Amino acid sequence: MKFSPALESLIEALRCLPGVGPRSAQRMSLHLLERDREGAETLAQSLTEAVEKIGHCSRCRNFAEETLCEICADPRRDRSTVCVVESPADVLALEQSASYRGVYFVLMGHLSPIDGIGPDDIGLDVFQRQVTDGEVKEVILATNPTVEGEATAYFLTDMLAGTGISLTRIAHGVPLGGELEYVDGSTLAHALSGRVPVDAQR
Amino acid sequence: MRISLQPAYLLHRKPFRDSSQLLEVLTAEHGRISLVAKGVRRKARGGNTSALVQPFSPLLVSFSGRGEMKTLTHAELAGAPWMLRGERLFSGLYLNELMIRLLQRYDPHPMVFARYGETLAALASSAAAEPILRRFEMHLLEELGYRLSLEVEADTGEALDPNAWYRLDPDAGLVACAGTIPEIQRYQGSDLLAIAKDDIQGSSATTAKRLLRQALAVHLGDAPLRSRSLFRQYANAGDRQTPTQDESSL
């Protein structure tokens, strides 16, 4: 059986979502049309609205509707500490930890020469300007502990050397509630080399 | 085809679908291959493969499949990962880019694999980086069938004169030339002889870098090596000096 052209194109369009194959796209389309036309309407509207309105924050490059994102615009946030992360999802994760009151800088990627991603593609030129002419006292490097993330961190370290800004890297180690037996060797090696005196943990 | 516990290094990976990754892997007996690692980004209970399968870690991989793209079935560490820091990390990324650009898929080069491992070990030590990289590049060219003959002239077969100038003809080898052609294209005989004796330092290091850059360029084609320009930017990031070509070790 063939579907109508509009339905076919809806199915095709839904496949742009991650993890949605032809089969799930078809199920979603039929569900929307058969049972939830109202929901489909809302979905269409919010999609259009989101794509039209959401841009990047001019300070931290995170997604934002205004020129500044909510975090950058919040006067209670500490502007002297900037945490550099790879993606908006990382910001969300750090915000959920509820232990950080500074601002962020979102790279939207990491250095990866083989993929052709250089420092300017992840906004490091913008970051350097922001950091050197501003009130920033500490930069926290929270790029992923992968080779590309490390390369990005080293690049930033070198870029900010000599500016007098204190640079810190988040700790790598054993997850809370984890069991040493199941932690991989390289993480354990990091955890061991980055051990801290017991008093300092309090 | 099912291959079990093949020694390998990860060269590159990128996300694929929801929770999978596409891996470019250098193996000892099968050359450079592409693997799909299914579900590695999903957090498995206990250890997860994604944390394990990192560049510069000696691995043992098992894979199966019929087409060009094999499926990773198992991976484990074969030794401690080489810790490359700062500048060395960028050199490592350069090696990986070279391997991806120069080695054909499924073209086994066990010697290159062995050398790659040794080179990583050397980079992780405190020895000077430049000679390590140059030796690897020369070895790579030799394995690919383009050995640089640094003792004799290509057209006459005569031994090189330390005081003469030579230029590199990519199809033949070193050819005598006049001292009047642009400096960037000619090489001093004494430096070339030093490189042949594995004495890569000072002026011979600069010559070796230029020579190998020219020799590799033929095989790399038009697209520049991204890791090389990244390295140059890295070297210049701290002090905003005008980038000079010969500052980096790549």
Q: Measured between alpha carbons, how far is B66 from A114 in angstroms, rounded to an integer?
A: 27
User: Quick one: pLDDT at residue B238?
Assistant: 56
- B1-81 to CATH, choices 2.40.30.40, 3.90.730.10, 3.40.50.300, 2.40.50.140: 2.40.50.140
What is this structure's pTM?
0.82
Shortest CA distance from B19: residue in chain A: A19
Exposed/middle/buried for residue A162 (C-beta within 10 Å: 0-12, 13-18, 19+): exposed
Q: In chain A, what are the domains?
A: 5-53 (1.10.8.420), 76-170 (3.40.1360.10), 173-202 (no CATH)
Chain A residues with CB inside 8 Å of B77's CB? Answer: 184-186
CATH code for the domain defined by B83-250: 1.20.1440.120
Chain A residues with CB inside 8 Å of B18's CB? Answer: 18-19
Residue A32 has pLDDT above 70, yes or no: yes
Q: Measured between alpha carbons, how far is A117 from B24 in angstroms, rounded to an integer?
A: 17
Residue A114 has pLDDT above 50, yes or no: yes
Of B18, B52, B238, the CB nearest to A159: B238
**How many other C-beta atoms lie within 10 A of the C-beta of residue B121?**
14
User: Quick one: pLDDT at residue B68?
Assistant: 84
Residues carrying CATH 1.20.1440.120, chain B: 83-250
Q: Measured between alpha carbons, how far is A62 from A46 in angstroms, rounded to an integer?
A: 19
pLDDT tens for B3-43 read: 889 999 999 988 887 778 899 999 999 999 999 988 776 65
Q: Are B175 and B166 in contact (CB under 8 A)?
A: yes
Q: Are B178 and B165 in contact (CB under 8 A)?
A: yes
- How far CA A113 is from CA of A7, A87, A91, B175, in Å, comes to 41, 18, 24, 34
pLDDT tens for A59-96 read: 888 998 888 888 888 889 988 899 999 999 999 999 99
Q: A78 vs chain B: nearest CA distance in angstroms?
A: 26
Chain A residues with CB inside 8 Å of B96's CB? Answer: 114
> How would you list the strands of the sheet with B165-169, edge to edge?
B173-177, B165-169, B186-188
Q: B180 vs chain A: nearest CA distance in angstroms?
A: 37
Q: Identify the band that residue A125 occupies on the pLDDT scale cut at 50, 70 and 90.
A: confident
Predicted complex ipTM: 0.79
pLDDT tens for B193-224 read: 888 888 888 888 888 888 888 888 888 887 88
Measured in degrees and rounded to the nearest 5, phi and psi for residue A78 equal -85, 110
Q: Measured between alpha carbons, how far is B233 from B159 in angstroms, rounded to an integer?
A: 40
Of B12, B85, B237, the CB nearest to A114: B12
Q: A164 vs chain B: nearest CA distance in angstroms?
A: 12
pLDDT tens for B43-59 read: 554 446 777 788 899 99
Residues carrying CATH 2.40.50.140, chain B: 1-81
pLDDT tens for B153-185 read: 877 778 888 888 888 887 788 888 877 788 778
Of B85, B227, B237, the CB nearest to A113: B227
Beta carbons of A158 and B93 less than 8 Å apart: no
> Cβ contacts of residue B43 below 8 Å, gap of 6+?
none
Chain A residues with CB inside 8 Å of B14's CB? Answer: 115
